[in-house]
Amino acid sequence: MAQDRDFLVTLYNFLYPHNKYYGQFKPEYITFNANLQEFSQRVSYICNLQTNGKLSPEDAYIQIKGLWKQLKLSKKYLDI
């Protein structure tokens, strides 16, 4: 059971890496940094899917545009 948990943690860390935040320590900055890292990771996956022919360029564009709008909204709501 512990091996399964360790495997899942390792897999999660591999698929969704997060880097430390070195900027000014404010909760809204840390939250936005996490959102930015998630945006970056998801855009990378979308680009890889499109490059490998699993996703059309139009679908990739629409998905990335939606992610960008979400990121802009998070910046607005965090009042940065």
Cα–Cα distance between 27 and 33 in angstroms, integer?
Answer: 10
> Per-residue DSSP letters for 32-46?
HHHHHHHHHHHHHHH
pLDDT digits (tens, 9 = 90+) for 17-57: 777 888 899 999 999 999 999 999 999 999 999 999 999 99
Cα–Cα dist 46/65, whole Å: 11
In the predicted model, is pLDDT for residue 1 greater than 80? no
Other residues' Cβ atoms within 10 Å of the Cβ of residue 32: 19
**Band of pLDDT at residue 11, cut at 50, 70 and 90:** confident
Determine the pLDDT at residue 5.
85
